[in-house]
A and B are shown apart, each in its own frame.
Chain A
């Protein structure tokens, strides 16, 4: 940063070192064995950059800095210690909001300090920073609210919604363009900020909970790009680098999530998917319930069992219960594997973290492409609170709303046990023919309680 007029070489060098450490840190993420070590490097880089900045010649008073650092550290540490793994999507959405808010506020402060004297390009970057920052703040708060259940999870839609959103967006961009030409137009600047906050809300309310993995990734991307824009405003390279890495990470994740649902970004954002749809044809046949003892027998005498977790596992906090049952089966010589669909859960990698928390070794966690060829040789596939990701309609019925979505082909297993809360259609409101197939057996009830009783029953076999 070069606010003082001359270059502080020591500080710039510190920032360079921090940038390198961030890159090395993310490189460590390519393998679970090296990930922790990588993060230590990134933390060291962060510490160096922060401490170096505290000696910045532009800082003349430390009261507010100290207050903010202490308050933020306390909140952050409490979150890091107390947030349960099942609540990780909410926590992450909240942190996107915090990061974006920081970027937006820095932008507003910069404008209030020297908005008049800014070069046109800097004003442009400032506009991006503040727009992305403000819309990501409110958008992420809504997403966090939906995930926590404070805000209704189903899409909120009304007539003319797209038009309203388009007008909001146009007004925001209009303010931005006006600002580019007229540096002193404070009214337009603050209108742009306000429109950004409103637009963020409107952007996320029409999106259903089941699409959260995409939304989370996109908000991640926006928050990162807002930080990168801050870097352009302050002419600070480490900010540009860190923000861009974050932005691209989010972007890549959202593309991967879209692929895993066979849907375009546009469809996710504006399609209102997850609204109650009326699938006309009701499947022939009945859902067959299975007795707990029979299910336990099937499991106990199987050679290979594959567990397929979905969001229901998280809501029931059933990860430890699965692990207990799996342990027991493994002791009996059963091969146990876990099949993880990329969009199972509410954020990328959600299921992996939950199962890791329950001490499931990651060598037992299988990605979709690895496990699908194994289903025909699987004796029992146990579906726990998953629905769309095992819906055979995606493969067989070209008229299905989820046609073409890659699925876990559990219906090819010799037997399927579906743990489900009730006979309803689940979050997406879609009919699932899997439940009516002859191989499928239903076990109704809370996933955790059911798994615990299954464990007991297997013990008595």
Chain B
């Protein structure tokens, strides 16, 4: 990492921290549980890092099946695969559950009573 990229990254980090403080302090306690699952889903963006690692090396399944020389998936590929799985679980599960929770929040009794339950 060149020094310029490093400095730019630190700027991004510092500004994101301030922005995060401003954004999150405005979330009412009512929504703290959905907030936690939403930020969790969003930080599942680390998926994009694991995607590149899981897809970096060519794996030859035919040679693998034939017991051919080498060509086993590398450690990195395996770790990448697990990371893709867990990160995807967070993204899909996190956004799914957040939406399920937010759907339940209703303002007045009338609309709440109208819902079948």
Quote the shortest CB–CB distance from A27 to chain B (angstroms). 6
- With contacts A64-B81, A75-B93 taken as known, whether A240 is within 8 angstroms of B9 at the C-beta atoms is yes
Partner of A121, one of B1, B41, B115, B117: B1
Contact of B38 among A29, A228, A353 (CB under 8 A): A29
C-alpha spacing A241/B17, complex, angstroms: 8
Which residues of the partner chain A approach B51 to less than 8 Å between Cβ atoms? 50, 53-54, 56, 59, 65
Contact pick for B5, options A31, A42, A65, A235, CB 8 Å: A235
When distances are taken between beta carbons in the complex, the residues of chain B under 8 Å from A106 are 46, 49-50, 53, 79-80, 83
In chain B, residues 77-107, which have Cβ atoms closer than 8 Å to a Cβ of chain A? Answer: 77, 79-107
Q: Which of B53, B59, B108 has the most C-beta atoms of chain A within 10 angstroms of its own C-beta?
A: B53
| Chain B 31-48 per-residue mask, 1 if CB under 8 angstroms from chain A, else 0 | 111111111111111111
Please name all residues of chain B whose beta carbon is closer than 8 Å to the beta carbon of A42 when the two chains form the complex: 38, 41-42, 95
Which B residues touch A401, using CB under 8 A? none
Residues in chain A near residue B48, CB distance under 8 A: 1, 49-50, 53, 236, 238-239
Give the residues in chain A near B103, CB-CB below 8 Å: 36
Tell me the smallest distance from the CB of B73 to a CB of chain A, in Å: 7
* Bound: A22/B50 CA distance, A: 20
What's the Cα separation between A76 and B26 when bound, in Å? 28
- Name the prevailing secondary structure of the B interface residues: helix
Complex partner residue of A58 from B12, B17, B56, CB under 8 angstroms: B56
Task: Report whether A349 and B34 are in contact in the complex, using a CB–CB cutoff of 8 Å.
Answer: yes
A154-162, A246-254, A288-296, A441-449: which lies at the B interface? A246-254
Contact A63 B82 (CB under 8 A): no
Instruction: Indicate with 1 or 0, residue by residue over B51-89, a CB within 8 angstroms of chain A CB atoms.
Output: 111111111010000000000011111011111111111
Chain A: which residue is nearest B27 at the CB level?
Answer: A29
Q: Is A359 among interface residues, defined by CB-CB distance under 8 A?
A: yes
A67 vs B81: C-alpha distance when bound (angstroms)? 8
Residues of chain A with a CB closer than 8 A to B46's CB: 99, 102-103, 106, 227, 230, 239, 242-243
Q: Give chain A nearest CB distance to B28 CB in angstroms.
A: 7
Q: Are B9 and A249 in contact (CB under 8 A)?
A: no
B56 adjacent to A60 (CB under 8 Å): yes
Q: Is the CB of A101 within 8 A of B86?
A: yes
Report the nearest A residue to B16, measured CB to CB.
A244
Is there an interface contact between A365 and B30, defined as CB atoms closer than 8 Å?
A: yes
What are the residues of chain B within 8 A of A361 when measuring CB–CB?
A: 106-109, 111-112
CB-based contact A59/B86 at 8 Å = no
Contacting A95 at CB < 8 Å: which of B73, B82, B90, B111? B90
**B90 CB to closest chain A CB, in angstroms?**
5
* A76–B88 CB distance below 8 A: yes
Contacts of A350 in B (CB 8 A): 33
- The answer on a CB contact under 8 Å between B56 and A353 is no
Residue contact B49 to A234, C-beta cutoff 8 Å: yes
Please report B residues at the A interface, Cβ cutoff 8 Å: 1, 5-6, 9, 12-13, 16-17, 19-21, 23-59, 61, 73-77, 79-109, 111-113, 115, 117
**With A64-B55, A103-B46, A239-B46 already in contact, 9 other A-B pairs whose C-beta atoms are closer than 8 Å:** A35-B31, A46-B45, A61-B55, A62-B55, A113-B76, A239-B45, A249-B36, A347-B33, A363-B108
Using a CB–CB distance below 8 Å, which chain A residues touch chain B? 1, 3, 18, 22-23, 25-27, 29-33, 35-36, 39, 42-43, 46, 49-50, 53-54, 56, 58-65, 67-69, 71-73, 75-77, 79-81, 83, 85, 88, 91-92, 95-96, 98-99, 101-103, 105-106, 108-110, 112-113, 119, 121-122, 216-217, 220, 223-224, 227-228, 230-232, 234-250, 252-253, 256, 320, 327, 330, 340, 342, 347-350, 352-353, 356-365, 367
23 A-B contacts (beta carbon < 8 Å): A3-B52, A29-B38, A35-B31, A35-B34, A59-B52, A68-B54, A68-B85, A72-B92, A76-B94, A95-B37, A95-B90, A99-B43, A105-B79, A105-B82, A112-B74, A237-B9, A241-B16, A245-B19, A252-B21, A347-B36, A349-B29, A350-B33, A359-B104
